[in-house]
Amino acid sequence: MLLPLLALLWTAAQGSQGLWSHIAVYVLPRSALNTLALLAGVGTLVVAIGTGAAWLVTAYDFPGRRVLAWALLLPLAVPTYIVAFAYLDLLHPLGPVQGAARALLGYDSPRDFRLPDIRSLAGAVLLLGFVLYPYVYLTTRAMFMTQASSLLEAARTLGTTRAALFLRVALPLARPAIAIGAALALLETLNDIGASEFLGVQTLTVAIYSTWVTRSDLPGAAQIALVMLAIVVLLVVLERYGRRRQRYAATQRPRPMQPLRLRGGAAALALGLGAMPVAIGFAIPAASLGWQSLERLRRHGGATPQLLDSAGNTLAVAAAATVATLLAGLVVAWALRLAQRRRRPLLAGAALRVASLGYAIPGTVLAIGLLLPLAWFDDAANAVLQAFGGAPRMLLMGSATALVIAYVLRFLAISAGGIEAGLTRIPGSLDQAAASLGERPGTALARVHLPLLRPALAAAALLVFVDTMKELPATLLLRPLNFETLATRLYAEAARGTYEEGAVAALLIVAAGLLPVMLLARAGLGYGGERQT
């Protein structure tokens, strides 16, 4: 993980002073301001929607609440670029929404009446906010569900209203969870390239891509990537600062608060408010993609060979990346456990933190940093091949191996974190028993720990597999020639304006994304809050 970051610094240093001056004057100001405005808008929206939704389904009981509690996670299944893709078609001047509005109002032409263009910074903020709020909802609801009810009941006995209870007691206690969720949502916003480009917002991510691919200026792209990396560091520092006081003490297990039952109009209003983010962030774009996919398949008699090739490429590279990421995560998590047994956890813990950096680094920044090490490897391998009479070739850069390496670095934190959590649930006495019987650590891992780690390994594999299928920025920059995945095919169809052609690819990605969301929903329902009401 450190090598790509060092390579990024080296690549950025190769640019001339005049090049940096041009970027600093003509590229960075607009891109940085748009990025900061997008982060501020999305951060405000995800905190408002996620926290409000979490309090709604925790503090109140109404018909449909149990379904809504897990349905609020569904926007996580839809990547941001797919939501932008769907709404661009829905809200197009010649699309169904504006066509229905003109018919209702009696207008015949888009020149006479049209809705505000969604291709704007405000449109990007709204769409990204309604897709990424589940990060805040998930962490904040978990905090609300585990807050000691005695504190809330004590406040209510003092005459505190339900609104004041939320603002003065529950919300301050939940600030660390809100900070974590907001930081994750903002990191996803930084990583986005498809939605920002589709909606015409020149962010730093889009500037990196256009500088490298369109202008063939790698040092300039690396310099912009360094600015973006500084924003990532700032977000991480702010997240740590937001939960710096996350210390709680309790003499007994917290008992969740008893929700207030709503009836009549209040219950209908609560259900409508809770369902609105689900409709905007998931139901409407998913229904649109489903309809377009059916129309496309009906008219053309099935999927095209190009789409099938893209699906095969996606499955192949996602499977390879999942296996490699699981193996790497297992090595890191097992090394940490061994170090803790020997009371030397410092080095292994530092290695785990470094390995987890990839998830915080946007895909475009990681791709720029990987380019130089991959080229060095290819040059060294070609020197060896030529020494033995072989023809030079691009071993890494000319194959999907570069994508697999990028995916492993990007999603190693998911694998290592999940496996580490699984290992913590295995008693240390099993390690001691295996050692007393003469088993070596590797044998104990294979015969004792791996069978017990199957649920953690399966969950980590599912999350990594789906995330690799959805990853767009790193795939766009590192894929070999004539290699398309579902994500890049969708990106190409959207760039050409052929939305119906990309609908099938988008729907396949959304269908795959539902799997980990169902896993999260099942875990959330097993948390205890829903079953105690």
> Quick check: helix, strand or coil at residue 388?
coil
pLDDT attached to residue 249 = 43
Higher pLDDT: 399 or 126? It is 126
303-496: CATH topology is: MetI-like fold (1.10.3720)
**Residue 527, pLDDT score:** 39
* pTM for this model (two decimals): 0.85
Q: Please enumerate in sequence order all residues whose Cβ is within 8 A of that of 107, keeping only pairs 6 or more positions apart, or say none.
A: 113
Q: Which of 264-273, 394-403, 425-434 has the lowest mean pLDDT?
A: 425-434
Q: Given this model, what pLDDT does residue 133 score?
A: 95
Dihedrals phi, psi of 193, to nearest 5 degrees: -125, -40
Q: Count how many residues are written for the chain.
A: 533
pLDDT at 353: 65
> Which range, of 83-92, 110-119, 340-349, averages the lowest pLDDT?
340-349
Task: Pick 244 or 45 by higher pLDDT.
Answer: 45
As a whole number, mean pLDDT of residues 89-97 equals: 85
Reply yes or no on whether the pLDDT at 250 is more than 50.
no
Neighbours of 84 (CB within 10 A): 26
Q: What percent of the chain has pLDDT over 70?
A: 88
How does pLDDT run across 206-240, given as a tens digit for each residue? Answer: 999 888 887 778 888 888 988 888 888 888 777 77
Residues 6+ apart with CB under 8 A from 313: 400, 483, 484, 485
pLDDT band of residue 352 (cuts 50, 70, 90) is low
Mean pLDDT of all residues in the chain? 83
Terminal-to-terminal C-alpha distance of the chain: 46
pLDDT of 87 strictly over 50: yes
When pLDDT is cut at 50, 70 and 90, the band that residue 306 belongs to is confident
Q: Determine which of 239-253, 356-370, 388-402, 499-513 has the lowest per-residue pLDDT on average.
A: 239-253
Q: Is 149 or 81 the better-scoring residue by pLDDT?
A: 81
Q: Cite the DSSP H helix spans in 301-425.
A: 305-341, 345-355, 357-360, 363-387, 401-424
Long-range contacts of 171-175 (CB under 8 A, 24+ apart): 171/51, 173/143, 173/147, 174/51, 174/54, 174/140, 174/143, 174/144, 174/147, 175/242, 175/243
Lowest-pLDDT range of 42-56, 61-75, 233-247, 511-525: 233-247
pLDDT of residue 532: 36
Beta bridge partners of residue 260, listed in sequence order: 60
Higher pLDDT, 515 or 322: 322
Tokens of 447: 């015969």
Query: Is the pLDDT at 256 greater than 60, yes or no?
Result: no
The residues spanned by each domain of the chain are 303-496
Judged against a pLDDT cut of 50, whether residue 339 lies above it is answered with yes
Sorting pLDDT into bands at 50, 70 and 90, what band is 44?
A: very high
In sequence order, the 6+-apart residues with CB closer than 8 A to the CB of 480 are: 394, 397, 398, 399, 400, 402
Contacts of residue 437, defined as CB under 8 A and 6 or more positions apart, other chains included, come to none
pLDDT given for residue 251 in this prediction: 42
Residue 280: pLDDT over 80: yes
Q: Given a cut of 80, is residue 272 above it in pLDDT?
A: yes
* pLDDT the model gives residue 116: 84
What number of other Cβ atoms are within 10 A of residue 188's Cβ? 19
From 32, 53, 512, 1, select the one nearest 271 (Cα to Cα): 53
Question: Of 407, 445, 405, nearest to 426 (Cα)?
Answer: 445
* DSSP output for 109-177: STTT--PPPS-SHHHHHHHHHHHHTHHHHHHHHHHHHHS-HHHHHHHHHTT--HHHHIIIIIHHHHHHH
* 492 three-class SS: helix
Q: What is the 3-state secondary structure (H, E, C) of 202-256?
A: CCHHHHHHHHHHHCCCHHHHHHHHHHHHHHHHHHHHHHHHHCCCCCCCCCCCCCC
Per cent of the chain over pLDDT 90 is 32
The per-residue pLDDT for 246 is 53
pLDDT at 253 over 60: no
Tell me the chain's radius of gyration from C-alpha atoms: 25
Cα–Cα distance, 414 to 408 (Å, whole number): 10
Nearest alpha carbon to residue 336 among 438, 435, 449: 449
